[in-house]
Structure 1
């Protein structure tokens, strides 16, 4: 009888181990759980509720827009609207307003970023009150580990309309985008370090004086706007809402002929 009880206990323990084994393996080997564990270490608690993405797009300001702050005010209202509509999805980033171009860096959930792109399509479609006449997406980075910005803001840059960029020796789109993104990420890291100081406040003027190498020349933005390899917001949204049906041997991403761009 004693041996029989032992056998039964061993069998019960074995069954319990077999029941626990799949869940244990899932926690240990699942890519989702590994990414979640990593985000818990790197991200603030609030960002665990969403997958964090970063969108960077450039645009050409409509020639009919006399006051650049009108564009900044538009996105300021939009950010407030999105904060109310998606309360768990913080909307952070930086809008740089050049004399004739813009660079916009945004960090939030995919739903918020898609909403921003739809709004961008809408304002471009307005014939007489357009804020931005043309735009291109530089990159959409998915599931980033942390934010570069603690809030959203915009700065009006007082720069000359042209620079010393030699348009006769244009770089390839991939090189031009890569160098632009590196500079923008350095700018974000620079502002992030400054934000940790007390009484933090960086004006556009001080930014131009302290870190002029962190500002993308406007002529480079003009070149990027002309590159058809970069997706427009309309093209990106069309691909975003389309079913994924790409050939296995295709290197294209979202229909772009430059696979590393988006």
Structure 2
């Protein structure tokens, strides 16, 4: 009898240990969960302003970033804005609410001849495990900066898109390693990019990508993202259901 009691106590102890381990794992999981889903938006566009006034683009988006962070305290908005002589490339990492606000702002600019014309969404990555960019920064690029990487006319749009996205990832990793040189400034210093010219997408690539009809405008992306899928089934138009839809 005593032996049975010991066995029962052992089993009960083992179950308690497993339960406590389960709860510890669940607690760790809950602690590790992000407060909000993190998304990365990559957009290209054409500038409406002259080269001498390009800083107004950076100022506009800087005000937007500040507004978004004030609206949602604790939810950082990070990313990168590359301002070419005639085009722009924007990467933003933010919450779902902030993502929608940025898309709406880009739509408003397009509809009202704002600083960025013809914005097109290259990619939206949802529920990211971590950020690629630790801060919000921008960089004014001159003609020489935006032409260091050659773009072949024979390169397919799909390959060009893939190469551009890979360059953005490489540029993000490079900026992460140079964080100590950017602290305290929204503008990326020239010395930070001097040894990473091949990681900066050239302006010619942005110009060609803007011609891709498959890329959605912010307005079309918002409409597509929020519209339900309407797939009409035979069973919706015929009653009773068609014989081939019946489960036997």
Q: Is contact 2:45-2:210 (8 Å) kept?
A: yes
Match of 1:121 among 84, 107, 110: 107
Distance in 2 (alpha carbons) for counterparts of 1:161 and 1:61 = 17
Deviations 1:158-206 (Å, cap 9, x if unpaired)? 1259845333x1x333221111111100000011011157968784522
Question: What pairs with 1:228-243 in structure 2 (closer than 5 Å)?
Answer: 228-243=213-228
Partner of residue 240, structure 2? none
Following TM superposition, the consecutive aligned residue runs of length 4 or more in structure 1 with deviations greater than 6 angstroms are: 197-202
Q: Is the 8 A contact 2:171 2:199 kept in 1?
A: yes
Assess if the C-alpha contact under 8 Å between 2:181 and 2:192 holds in 1: no
Displacement of 1:147:
0.9
1:175 aligns with 2:154: no
1:11-160 maps to which residues of 2 (within 5 A)? 40=32, 48-63=34-49, 66-127=52-113, 130-160=114-144
Q: CA deviation at 1:153?
A: 1.5
- Cα deviation, residue 232, structure 1: 1.2
d(CA) in 2 for partners of 1:116, 1:199: 24
SS of the aligned residue for 1:210 comes to coil
| Residues matched between the structures, number | 222
Task: Evaluate the alpha carbon distance shift between residue 76 and residue 207 of structure 1 in structure 2; reply closer, same or farther with a 3 A threshold.
Answer: same
Give distance in 2, aligned partners of 1:233 and 1:142. Answer: 16
Query: In the alignment, is the contact (CA less than 8 A) between 2:182 and 2:189 conserved in 1?
Result: no
Instruction: Output the CA distance in 1 between the equivalents of 2:85 and 2:182.
Output: 31
Output one character per residue of 1:223-258: Cα deviation in whole Å (capped at 9) or x when no partner: 0000011111111100111114469xxxxxxxxxxx
CA distance in 1, matches of 2:142, 2:173: 22
Matching residue of 1:260: none
**Deviation string, structure 1 residues 12-54 (Cα, Å, up to 9, x no partner):** x9xxx9xx99xx69x88xxxx99x57x93xxxxxx82111111
In the alignment, the residues of structure 2 paired with residue 70 and residue 192 of structure 1 have an alpha-carbon distance, to the nearest angstrom, of 26
Aligned partner of 1:212 in structure 2 is 197
Moved more, 95-104 or 173-182: 173-182
Runs of 5+ unmatched residues, structure 2: 233-248
1:139 match: secondary structure: strand
Superposition TM-score, scaled by structure 2 size: 0.75
CA distance in 2, matches of 1:199, 1:86: 23
CA distance in 1, matches of 2:133, 2:101: 19
CA-based RMSD:
3.7
Match of 1:256? none
C-alpha separation in 1, matches of 2:203 and 2:182: 32
How far off its partner does 1:209 sit? 2.1
What is the distance in 1 between the residues matched to 2:49 and 2:182?
Answer: 39
Task: Return the TM-score normalized by structure 1.
Answer: 0.71
Cα distance in 1 between the residues matched to 2:56 and 2:41: 22
